[in-house]
Amino acid sequence: MTKFGKLPHKDLLSIAQLSGDDVQQIFATAAELKAKRAELNDLLAGKKLAMIFEKDSLRTRFTFDIGMQDMGGHAVFLDHRDARIGSREAVRDVARNLERWVDCVVARTFKHRAVVELAENCSIPVINGLTDYLHPCQALSDFFTLTEKWGDVKGKRLTYIGDGNNTCHSLIYAAAKLGTNITVCTPEGYEPNAKVINQAMIAGQESGSELRIMNEPKEACEGTNAVYTDVWASMGQEDEVEERAGLFREYQVDEELMALTDNGLFMHCLPAHRGHEVTSGVMDGENSIVFDIAENRLHVQKAIMLLLMNGEGS
């Protein structure tokens, strides 16, 4: 049976900590797990995953849980929506309990610091399932799907339209590691975090990735190979929904915008608000790969768990 390697870090908190080779290792492992899903069903037999979620979830919760089942392991879900990590019990104490019971933790939190602190105090792997700052598993799944469609993503152009949020940050990091050119187009004042931009530009010098920050959607989409969008108001920003709807209206991805691309693919991390950030025509169009991406969350996250938990594997 295939030997699986090991990622060089204990945890996966950010794509920024990975090299381009690390990302390719995740992709190669995901591809094999996807192709041999029925056969490779005992790779994490006896292993246990703790899932700590402060936010609602469909894709992240199902794919991590099913992923563990696929590989012979078990997942335990802890719903912390009403009591955030660290409010009832210190994060370091939560970490020191969990490491006695399980083999890995995936945490989906508001504050990024909560996941970082969990990892710092845990001897077992911690996976960032989403924070307000980053969404690494999503972006890795996005780019894995692009490799399925295109083969090599190096030199291709991805255009992100909308809010410079957690998903946007992780897409920027992934593009910089893989040599993909990325354009981020947001309303003024909603650009991605300056630290992310600076780190990605440094990484991009090695990979050949170009990062552009723009405010004009039509210019940003001209000749691009793929267009990505996300909700205009993320979880925790419910009080900004109406204000953002007005500011972002001209950033809707519609048929007219997609017509400016080079037969571009359409991407979305979901859930999508049809009629807001994207029209139903684009969402359901022949170039939409949103559900391929959703499927691949399962395979990419299985690869991450295996490479963190199983070492050399068998």
Show which residues are catalytic.
Answer: 108, 135, 138, 230, 269, 297
E-strand ranges in 144-191 read 157-161, 181-185
Question: For residue 205, how many C-alpha atoms fall within 13 Å in the half-sphere facing its CB?
Answer: 5
Query: How far, in Å, are 3, 50, 61, 220, 237 from residue 53 at the CA level?
Result: 32, 10, 8, 35, 18
Angstrom distance (rounded) from CA 305 to CA 302: 5
Q: Which residues contact 188 (CB under 8 A, 6 or more apart)?
A: 215
In b/e form, how buried is each residue of 235-264, taking b as 16+ CB within 10 angstroms? eeeeeeeeebeebbeebbbeeebbebbeeb
Q: How many CA atoms lie within 13 A of 104 on its CB side?
A: 31
